Amino acid sequence: MKRAYRTLLLFVCPCLILSACGAGSTLRVPGDLTRPVSAVAPRGGPQAMIADFSFAAVGEGVVGRDFDRARTIVWSGEPGKAMADMVAVVLGERGVATVRQGADAKGAETAPVRISGVLRRFEVNSRRSGNFTVVTEATVSLTLTVESPGLSGPMERTVTSTASSSDFFVAPDDVRDALMSATNTVAEEAARILLEAKVVSPSS
């Protein structure tokens, strides 16, 4: 009898936890999708102006779905602005001074390079795999467009990254961590492409 009782608890407890965590029709991603600002600021005037990236949301704040609990995943931020902020911060870490402007900005007199972009994917989804494991996967895809007098025409590059995690149930912080990981990787790769193309360079 005791063995049967323990076996029942091993099965029922995870189910109760899953039910409690899955209450409600919305899972909200907590906090901001930002990167800590580097302690050392680039020297000199801005080399590039980075405009807010465009992003077509599927719904107000919706960035994905928890398929196991049949609920939407919502983040209250602005993905296009957050992604542009992230690229600017990573470039700053590499010694490149930038200035940020809104999506409709035409340019900045002190910045010869203009970087704009389209955030084609910014999503995170959770699905149950097997009996107990829930897999959370984030995908971020960004197409950058660079305009500069030193280029024969606009330069366009696309960067995509995925990040995933698994646990017995999906928690808001797990969703944020997956989305943050993919976002950071895309920003780092975008900065690498710009530096290797010599569109921008670290300030001496």
- For the record, the structure tokens of 41 come out as 């600021």
- For the record, the structure tokens of 147 come out as 């305009």
User: Per-residue pLDDT tens for 118-154?
Assistant: 999 999 999 998 778 999 999 999 999 999 888 888 9
Domain boundary assignment for the chain? 23-30+45-196
pLDDT classification of 90: cutoffs 50, 70, 90 = very high
User: Per-residue pLDDT tens for 158-195?
Assistant: 999 999 999 888 889 999 999 999 999 999 999 999 99
As to burial, measured by CB atoms within 10 angstroms (0-12 exposed, 13-18 middle, 19+ buried), residue 3 is exposed
Structural contact between residues 122 and 79, judged by C-beta atoms closer than 8 angstroms: yes
23-30+45-196 CATH = 3.40.50.10610
List the one residue out of 114, 116, 118 whose CA is nearest residue 148: 114
Structural contact between residues 124 and 73, judged by C-beta atoms closer than 8 angstroms: yes
Exposure b/e, 92-127, CB count within 10 A at least 16 = b:
bbbbbbbebbeeeeeebeebbbbbbbbbbbbbbbbe
Least confident residue range of 15-29, 98-112, 152-166: 15-29
pTM across the whole model: 0.81
User: What is the chain's Cα-based Rg?
Assistant: 21
